[in-house]
Amino acid sequence: MKTPLQPRPSALDGTETACRRVALVLAVLLLPRLGQAQDIEPRRWSHLPIGANFAGAAYAYSYGDISLDPVLKIQNGQFDLQTMAVKYIRSFDLLGKSARVDLTRPMNSATGPACSTACPPRCIVTDSRTPPCASR
């Protein structure tokens, strides 16, 4: 009859186990320093021809429902968000080096209705273009 296998006692004592754990923690903490990354806009610092002009425009539209905490007693929250941007870039010579000036003008407009279930119930329409005190 065979005897069941018994687990072997660990060959490492408490000090060696603690040292291995410390080494593992240090390795995990120091590994990110070895990682490589790439810039989001890789050609950001590339040289432009001196005297060149660049212009651009962008537009984005978003809409949807807003989920709020039920404690606020606001329901049917919705939003419409329009975002526009205009950009101008001019490259020039500055002390023998190429230089550039970027001008960017972002604009956005957000509107949205919501209904309050508090006493008395009322509906609210907001517009980011109107200052809060202008409706009084």
- Shortest CA distance to 81 belongs to which of 57, 114, 109? 109
Domain extent at residue 117: 53-127
Answer whether 105's CB lies under 8 Å from 85's CB. yes
| Residue 5 forms part of a structural domain | no
Task: Report the alpha-carbon angle 41-80-69, nearest 5.
Answer: 100
Residue 89, pLDDT > 80, answer: yes
Please state the domain count of the chain.
Answer: 1
Question: Strand, coil or helix: what is 29?
Answer: helix
Residue 7 in any domain: the answer is: no
pLDDT band at 84 (very low <50, low <70, confident <90, very high): very high
**What's the whole-number average pLDDT of the chain?**
76
pTM of the complete model beyond 0.85: no
Residue 135 has pLDDT above 50, yes or no: no
Hey, which residues does 78 pair with through a beta bridge? 65
Answer yes or no: is 99 within a domain: yes
Per-residue CA distances from 113 to 21, 78, 80, 129 (Å): 57, 6, 9, 14
